[in-house]
Amino acid sequence: MPQDTDESLPDGIGMTEAVEKLASAKARACYDAVKDDPSYDGFIIIGADTIVWKDEIMGKPVDRDDARRMLDKIRGTYHYVVTGICLIDKSSGSESVMNDVTAVHCVNYSDDDIEDYISREEPYDKAGSYAIQGYFGRYIDHIDGDYENVVGLPFYRIEEALKAYE
Residue 113 lies in a domain: yes
Q: Check residue 59 and give its pLDDT.
A: 87
Q: Which of these, 90, 81, 12, 10, lies nearest to 48 by C-alpha position? A: 81
Give a yes or no: residue 1 inside a domain: no
The verdict on residue 126 lying in a domain is yes
Predicted local distance difference test score (pLDDT) of residue 166: 78
Kindly state whether residue 10 falls inside one of the protein's structural domains.
Answer: no
What pLDDT score does 4 carry?
84
Give this prediction's pTM.
0.90
Examine residue 98 and state whether it is found in any structural domain, yes or no.
Answer: yes
Structural domain contains residue 7: no
pLDDT tens for residues 80-123? 999 999 999 999 999 999 999 999 999 999 999 999 999 999 99
Distance linking the first and last C-alpha atoms of the chain: 23
Range of the domain at 135: 15-165
Q: Phi then psi for 95, rounded to 5 degrees?
A: -125, 140
CATH number at residue 125: 3.90.950.10
Domains held by the chain: number: 1
Give the per-residue pLDDT at 117: 97
**Could you tell me if residue 51 is inside a domain?**
yes
- Residue 4 falls inside a structural domain: no
Which residues are part of the catalytic machinery?
Answer: 49
Q: So what's the pLDDT on residue 40?
A: 93
What is the per-residue pLDDT for 38? 93
Listed as ranges, residues in the chain with pLDDT below 50 are none
